[in-house]
Amino acid sequence: MELKEDMFGDDFHTPELTVIGEDAIPVSTDKKHVTLNVRSTDTEDNLKMLNVWVNGVPDAANRIEDLQGQTDKRKLSVELSEGVNTIQLAVQNDKGASSLKKSFKIKYEGKHEKHDLYIVGIGVARYKNITPLAYMDKDVIDLIDLYKKQEGMMFKKVHSELLTNDQVTHDSIMKTKHFLATSKVDDTVIVFFSGHGKIEGDENYLATYAWADKQPSKTGLAYTALENLLDNAPARKKLLLVNACHSG
């Protein structure tokens, strides 16, 4: 939500969110899912979006972007992670105003076991139009190989996707979201990009193989798009590594 001074007039208000039966929600459970009965209201504007976070990570499975009207009631099934889960909920109206976050904690005491790693490596050493970089493709290959050695040790299984040099296009990177979508909440996701970084206007770009300075949106990947790959993955342990200029 972008806050502007003219939003804080006398008529400024926010929607409200209530978890019905909140007192009956357990503080600990051996069940993997918890059901929440949520009621959202707005006295003046239409509701638009419901957001849920678990341990600070957006819960994509319970993100509702098409709320209608000024009242909404629904049941949410939130999958718990191992250990303590801090669950937060908030509703937003069509003016961009958000309710206060409703927050509570539930400890999952079910069976603990090893989980999987999903790693995406994207490295460009050789470019079609711009200066090459040494070892950028080797870096991502070596990192994937390092983690593959942890299969059966740190992780139950290690799943990987590798894109190097001319394989690195906007579309090929975005398609990795289908790979990451197969992860589960207790899994770990790592995305590693190594290559040129560029700034065009107000946007930071990661340079794909065919980067052209006059076509940044077509030949590069906006940094925010790479972040979105992580946001939409079910796994809640996520790490984004970027070895590129302007990545800080």
Q: What is the pLDDT of residues 145-186, one digit of tens each?
A: 999 999 999 999 999 999 999 999 999 999 999 999 999 999
Angle made by CA atoms 150, 122, 151, in degrees to the nearest 5: 10
pLDDT at 1: 46
pLDDT at 94: 94
- The 10s digit of each residue's pLDDT in 11-33 is 678 999 999 999 999 999 999 99
> Per the structure block, which two tokens stand in for 123?
């490295």
Q: pTM, whole model, 2 decimals?
A: 0.87
> Per the structure block, which two tokens stand in for 12?
């400024």
Other residues' Cβ atoms within 10 Å of the Cβ of residue 122? 26
33 and 59 Cβ atoms separated by less than 8 Å? no
For the segment 82-105, the average pLDDT, to the nearest whole number, is 96
31 and 204 Cβ atoms separated by less than 8 Å? no
**Separation of alpha carbons 159 and 62, rounded Å:** 25
